[in-house]
Structure 1
Amino acid sequence: MRMMTFKAATSTAAFAKVKAELGEDAVILSNKTITEKGVKSCEIVAAVDSSPVSLGGGKPQRQTKEDYVESALQHGTSWQREWSQIKGQIMQLMKPQMDLDLLSPKQKLAVEYLEREEVNETVLTHIFCSLREDKTRSIVHALETMITTQKFDAVQSPTKFQAFAGPGGSGKTSTLVRLALKEKKQNPRARICLVTADGGRGKGRLVLKHYAELSGLAFREIITRDDFHLLQKEAHQFDTILIDLPGLPNRTNLAEWTALYGLAGCDDLAIHLVLNPFYSPRQFERFMEKYKSEQLASVIWTKLDEACTFGALLNMAFASGLPVSTLSYGSGLKNSIAPATKEMIWRLLFMRKLPNGDIQP
């Protein structure tokens, strides 16, 4: 058994060192916060079986880059490739049956429009089957059951902690600030706490701290697991706590991160997935896997004014089953965010009209 101690500024960084040094089979023996010269850090003790298995009983051979690529193709992503192939084959079988001439002229025009808006084939097939059953059915009626909305109201929410997750650059920090300012404007007496969990390294920390000081809001940091436990103890002081989660490293998913920092076991926490409409279909598939969590409560769409198409809103809603709670647009922090409604989404999709009434070219 090989045992090692790892220290880093955050649990995520320490955990990454464990993976890099000991691999995926490492067992975490302890995970605690330590203070050295007045600076907090995370210390993880991990161990792994030090007796490697080699074929033929000889000395283990060093793998080449080609060996790693071959191993990844054969094992790590095999199920993903197989499922993608199955889906592709199903869609190829279904597509010839999607004879749009079986629809009314108005229905056909709507389906062709959605295809240009980059609504994916899975969703289009579902829409086609729904419309084919009734030539008088409108496209909006067919879409009604495919997307839901849910107003974001942090102060009135039954959950005290509201966390914002998503890929780097998706607009998590600006969305958090916009929602906090809006809540404060509507209810000046609201006790709001802004929290950064980026380990003190990202510029988002400075942004949150700046706006917290300007607006009279509380500000906290989550650097280690103990920091979140302390935040839970003082949660009664606030009406709502908004947490800016960091962009996750490639090999870390949301479930692992929340478990590492103690958020996974918090029943008083809702997580909102922040996305832009202009990611590629493959990226959206990746995000679905990376940010899978029972604590996910909604999807927040940002940077709508920069999008060329809006089919992603429908694709994500159909694939995830999550409601859309908020729509964000524009570069300013005030008057640039709105609670999502189905009417707003239909206007975006069919009229390219932003929530503020502007037409997206």
Structure 2
Amino acid sequence: MRMKTFRAATATAAFAMVKAELGADAVILSNKTVTDNGSKCCEIVAAVDAMPAGTPGAPGPVKHTGPSRTKEDTVEDALRSAIGWQREWSQIKGQILALMKPQMDPATLAPKQRLAMEYLEREEVDAKVLASVYCELRDDPKRSIITALESLVEVKPFRSRDWPGAIHAFAGPGGAGKTSSLIRLALREKRSNPKTRICLATADGGRGKGRLVLKHYAELSGLAFREIVTRDDFLLLRKEAEQFDMILIDLPGLTGNTTLEDFTGLYGLSTCGELSIHLVLNPYYSAAQFERFMEKYKSEQLASVIWTKLDETCTFGALVNMAFASGLPISALSYGAGLKNSIAPATLDMIWRMVFMRKLPGGDIQP
């Protein structure tokens, strides 16, 4: 078995490094946010089965001489020499995680910690997240569950001053609320700074109703509007980028086996370094759907998650689950039917109020 630690500024970049070096069969052993030289980054520990010794093309043990040999080198040699791994690491990992939850003894936690863990379970927080939180609380009876969760959940508020790139695209499944979120954020930014030059763009090829909605609100609010039907349309928009402080692009829902990387490559978005893509989701999708979305929408340009329709959900555990699984920060929270005053740049305080108090960013309390 070969195991290695990867660090990158974003989770998608770290996953790309894993795939490039270890291949598609690599198993993710851990995924967390760490601080490196004063900056937060994503750290992923991944492993892949090595070919048995003697197999043609199989790498032999790495030989080191002299004082440069490290503890990591010794571990690497031992893992490279190991044989007899009969099951896939992904299966082993799944079984270990399945066994961890029953082994979590509530009696080892302080009463307040135990109640908080039970509450998270009712909020449908994933067992892997609970196991991670339990391990942190078990060793410190005075530690707040909030501080344990904060090591798993990151926010990056959707405000122009917090995002260096001027071009933002909104991706996600059909009906998730991409178009309405885009409009809400544009209106919010315009209210906070009336002089902001904003362009709304649609990339649905003129097929969806979102195009008409975007055009309508652009005209009403004095915003520019563009359509992206071909690759050349996006290239032209990039040339116009200096005319705007912010460009918001509505991407279509992806059908069939089409992935976000396929789409961005086809339209030339993948070569745009100033582009940030935000994944728009609802909290009430199933766990299987979230796993499917992570695979379908993975991209090095994926920068955050925007949660919508929060006023329609019963539990908020999905916000924590997705942050843990993807390593992506939460950038905005959308709620309510109206387009005004119904979206907010995300903060950790807002998230914990929803999870533990069912209180939406706008102040309403979910029943």
Report the TM-score when normalising by structure 1.
Answer: 0.76
Q: Secondary structure at the match of 1:274?
A: strand
The match for 1:329 is 335
- Quote the Cα distance in structure 1 between the aligned partners of 2:245 and 2:133: 42
- Quote the Cα distance in structure 2 between the aligned partners of 1:225 and 1:111: 49
For the structure 1 residues 131 and 155, does the alpha-carbon distance in structure 2 shift closer, same or farther, using more than 3 Å as the test?
closer
Whether 2:271 is the aligned partner of 1:253: answer no
Q: Secondary structure at the match of 1:264?
A: helix
2:346 alignment partner, one of 340, 344, 357: 340
- Quote the Cα distance in structure 1 between the aligned partners of 2:90 and 2:283: 22
Alignment map for 1:279-290 (pairs within 5 Å): 279-290=285-296
The match for 1:131 is 137
- Quote the Cα distance in structure 1 between the aligned partners of 2:89 and 2:211: 40
Whether 2:216 is the aligned partner of 1:210: answer yes
For the structure 1 residues 101 and 307, does the alpha-carbon distance in structure 2 shift closer, same or farther, using more than 3 Å as the test?
same
Whether 2:175 is the aligned partner of 1:200: answer no
The match for 1:161 is 167
- Quote the Cα distance in structure 2 between the aligned partners of 1:112 and 1:185: 42
- Quote the Cα distance in structure 2 between the aligned partners of 1:127 and 1:248: 35
1:190-233: CA deviations, max 9, x gaps?
11100000010100000000000101110001111111011111
- Quote the Cα distance in structure 1 between the aligned partners of 2:92 and 2:220: 54
Report the TM-score when normalising by structure 2.
Answer: 0.74
CA RMSD across the alignment:
1.5
1:63-99: CA deviations, max 9, x gaps?
xxxxxxxxxxxxxxxxxxx777444412232123211
Gaps of 5+ in 2: 1-87
Whether 2:150 is the aligned partner of 1:144: answer yes
Q: How far is the alpha carbon of 1:121 from its aligned partner?
A: 0.6
2:238 alignment partner, one of 229, 232, 238: 232
Alignment map for 1:1-361 (pairs within 5 Å): 85-154=91-160, 157-361=163-367
Q: How far is the alpha carbon of 1:156 from its aligned partner?
A: 6.3
Q: How far is the alpha carbon of 1:155 from its aligned partner?
A: 6.4
For the structure 1 residues 156 and 141, does the alpha-carbon distance in structure 2 shift closer, same or farther, using more than 3 Å as the test?
closer
- Quote the Cα distance in structure 2 between the aligned partners of 1:84 and 1:316: 19
The amino acid of 2:358's aligned partner reads R
| Greater mean deviation of Cα atoms: 342-351 or 90-99 | 90-99
- Quote the Cα distance in structure 2 between the aligned partners of 1:207 and 1:297: 25
Maintained 8 Å contact 2:310/2:333: yes
Gaps of 5+ in 1: 1-81
Q: How far is the alpha carbon of 1:268 from its aligned partner?
A: 1.0
The match for 1:52 is none
The match for 2:6 is none
Maintained 8 Å contact 1:155/1:183: no
The amino acid of 1:346's aligned partner reads W
Q: How far is the alpha carbon of 1:171 from its aligned partner?
A: 0.4
Q: Secondary structure at the match of 1:334?
A: coil
The amino acid of 2:106's aligned partner reads L
Maintained 8 Å contact 2:358/2:365: yes
- Quote the Cα distance in structure 2 between the aligned partners of 1:276 and 1:84: 28
For the structure 1 residues 278 and 84, does the alpha-carbon distance in structure 2 shift closer, same or farther, using more than 3 Å as the test?
farther
Q: How far is the alpha carbon of 1:157 from its aligned partner?
A: 3.1
Q: Secondary structure at the match of 1:178?
A: helix
Maintained 8 Å contact 1:154/1:162: no
- Quote the Cα distance in structure 2 between the aligned partners of 1:148 and 1:98: 25
Maintained 8 Å contact 1:193/1:240: yes
